[in-house]
Chain A
Amino acid sequence: MNLFLDAFAWLADPAHLSGADGVPTRLGEHLWYTIVAVVIASVLAVPAGYLIGHTGRGRTLAVALTGGARALPTVGLVFLLALLVGIGITAPMIAFVVLAIPSVLAGAYSGFEAVDRKTIDAARAVGMTEWQIVTKVEVPLGLPLLIGGIRSATLQVVATATIATVVGAGGLGTYIFRGLRSNDYTQMLAGSIVVIALAVALEVVFSIVQRLVVPAGVTAGRPSDTRSKAARPGAVTATPLTKGTQ
């Protein structure tokens, strides 16, 4: 426990809270890298995922490609890219985007695939165009799964962004690697704590967003994931007796 107390004391030290190497600056860099990487990954992967989800084509290829990309060792990729483009954020950013794409892509196409075919047939029956089906049915209904994909991509990037520092790009990993290499475990732990706090904060934000994006009609009509008994559809979980006591 002493090490933890030391780490919190390190974080509270005013000397570590200002300047280019201060915690706020490093935290800002870290958060910025995470946001940029996830946004770029989303811009690339969401349209591709929607296309796969809507047409049902290319799924096998997408699964194979993104599965392979997940297996890429990110540190190796960072050094390899840095040897081509030099030190700085470019190389790690490319690696983070590669890391984030599989989750976002999976979220996008599985969101579309999860839409009940009957709903789509109904949309077509009432005269919706393909474009309307995509924008008015599939996108809103698939949104919770897409946000879930972006959420897990963000979590992976926020943890991995610690390696930006190995090619001189800063971020919270600065404390972790400097501490590791100079046996200063207090500094290392302090850096880790801030990364964890950031990850938890982002998780909270995403879990709220994920709830908010569920279309109102869907929340009313389908089993909710909350634990409240009242919300459970009687046919599945409740006996007629308990239903009667409500």
Chain B
Amino acid sequence: MITANKKGRLTVLGAVAIGAMVALAGCASSDPLSSGDSSASGDGDTLVIGSQQYYSNEIIAELYAQALEAKGYKVDRQYQIGQREVYLPELESGKIDVFPEYTGNLLQYYDKEETAKSPEEVETALAAALPDGLTALKAAAASDQDSYNVTKEFSEENDITSLADLKNYSGTLTLGAPPENAERPYGPPGLKSIYGVDVTSTPIDDGGGPLTVKALTDGSVQLADIYTASPLITENDLVTLEDPENMILPQNVVPIVSDKVDSDAQDVIDSVDAVLSASDLQQLNSKSQTDKESSATIAKDYLTEKGLLDS
């Protein structure tokens, strides 16, 4: 009995030990910031490309990576790094060389007092706000920001295509949005003070996902806060309301690069952003979310189509 028990225990111990070793080994090789990693920017000509923990951001990073590889650069992919608090210090210290960012949020990270509003103003302010050693390349037309959407029928029936048109709507307006929207400057307080519109906010905590769209299409809410890059907007024929007063901070895609990225490499990255339109980004995201393709496949197909992989 005792031996059997002991054997059983040893097996369990062994299994745990092996499991732990495998898990630890996995951590070691996937730790993007480990100093022992020989492929990190320590050696001369490899560019380290990072991405946020967000599928759409990874696709953009992969676009840069493959475009650079096609031109003969060596790249090291360090994707899915958490939040700005984590990866920006790594960018500043030169451990990451290229990172796709979003103009408005990045500007707010470096300068909370900034009052720039239009996409152009924000881009200019961002260039000034970045610390030494980091450069913002030209922002793409594609953006990934909050936007207020209505159904096509609602837009046509009430002749509403812009946030400014909402104040002419006679019924009550309910807004489906993530919980934090209720207190954001672009949430109900901003709609009231900037556009004179009264809305009641209903929290739907799926980040502008399918449930938010369902609430909009079944009429539970009239307005829905959905990210502009979401494929759900075109898939459901939604109308994104214009924001003539620039109430919502623009979040255009912008690559942040370190000094190691020379002007030729910058040109390569610029060539990607020059073609990346808002609808392109929606389609790329749709391929990831709906068709479940990998970021590598999505990027390869897109760059081939745009002729950016020809060396």
Please tell me if A167 contacts chain B, counting CB pairs below 8 Å.
Answer: yes
CA distance A79 to B204 in the complex (A): 10
Question: CB within 8 Å of A: which of B36-81?
Answer: none
Please tell me if B218 contacts chain A, counting CB pairs below 8 Å.
Answer: yes
| Interchain nearest-CB distance for B4 vs A (Å) | 29
> Which one of A36-44, A46-54, A82-90, A235-243 is at the B interface?
A82-90
Q: Mark A183-225, 1 if CB is under 8 A from B, else 0.
A: 0100000000000000000000000000000000000000000
| Interchain nearest-CB distance for B290 vs A (Å) | 16
Q: Is the CB of B183 within 8 A of A167?
A: no
Name the one of B202, B203, B214, B221 contacting A177, with C-beta atoms under 8 angstroms.
Answer: B203
Q: Is the CB of B179 within 8 A of A177?
A: yes
Q: Mark A78-107, 1 if CB is under 8 A from B, else 0.
A: 010011001110000000000000000000
CA distance A142 to B200 in the complex (A): 48
Q: Is the CB of A165 within 8 A of B179?
A: yes
CA distance A178 to B215 in the complex (A): 19
Main secondary structure of the interface of A (DSSP, over half): helix
Given A87-B220, A168-B202, verify A182-B183 contact (CB < 8 Å): yes
- CB-CB under 8 A from B176, the residues of chain A are 87, 168
| Interchain nearest-CB distance for A7 vs B (Å) | 17
CA distance A180 to B204 in the complex (A): 14
Q: Is the CB of B205 within 8 A of A87?
A: no
A interface, how many residues as a size bin?
10 to 19
Q: Is the CB of A182 within 8 A of B203?
A: no
Please tell me if B9 contacts chain A, counting CB pairs below 8 Å.
Answer: no
Please tell me if B157 contacts chain A, counting CB pairs below 8 Å.
Answer: no
Q: Is the CB of A182 within 8 A of B180?
A: yes
- CB-CB under 8 A from B215, the residues of chain A are 86-87, 168
- CB-CB under 8 A from B183, the residues of chain A are 178, 182, 184
Q: Is the CB of B203 within 8 A of A165?
A: yes
Q: Is the CB of B180 within 8 A of A87?
A: no
- CB-CB under 8 A from A177, the residues of chain B are 179, 203, 205
Please tell me if A181 contacts chain B, counting CB pairs below 8 Å.
Answer: yes
Please tell me if B13 contacts chain A, counting CB pairs below 8 Å.
Answer: no
| Interchain nearest-CB distance for B251 vs A (Å) | 17
Q: Is the CB of B202 within 8 A of A178?
A: no
| Interchain nearest-CB distance for B65 vs A (Å) | 31
- CB-CB under 8 A from B180, the residues of chain A are 178, 181-182
Please tell me if A34 contacts chain B, counting CB pairs below 8 Å.
Answer: no
Please tell me if B184 contacts chain A, counting CB pairs below 8 Å.
Answer: yes
CA distance A182 to B189 in the complex (A): 15
Q: Mark A156-186, 1 if CB is under 8 A from B, else 0.
A: 0000000001111000001001101110100
| Interchain nearest-CB distance for A21 vs B (Å) | 8
Q: Is the CB of A87 within 8 A of B179?
A: no
Please tell me if B129 contacts chain A, counting CB pairs below 8 Å.
Answer: no
Given A88-B220, A167-B211, A182-B180, verify A79-B206 contact (CB < 8 Å): yes
- CB-CB under 8 A from B202, the residues of chain A are 87, 168
Closest residue on chain A to residue B218 by CB atoms: A86
- CB-CB under 8 A from B200, the residues of chain A are 20
Q: Is the CB of A166 within 8 A of B204?
A: yes
CA distance A79 to B179 in the complex (A): 15
Q: Mark A100-128, 1 if CB is under 8 A from B, else 0.
A: 00000000000000000000000000000
Q: Is the CB of A166 within 8 A of B203?
A: yes
Q: List 5 additional A-B contacts (Cβ < 8 Å) besides A79-B211, A87-B214, A184-B183.
A: A87-B211, A167-B211, A177-B205, A178-B179, A181-B205
Which of A's residues lie within 8 Å of B, judged by CB?
20, 79, 82-83, 86-88, 165-168, 174, 177-178, 180-182, 184
Which of B's residues lie within 8 Å of A, judged by CB?
176, 178-180, 182-184, 200, 202-206, 210-211, 214-215, 218, 220-221
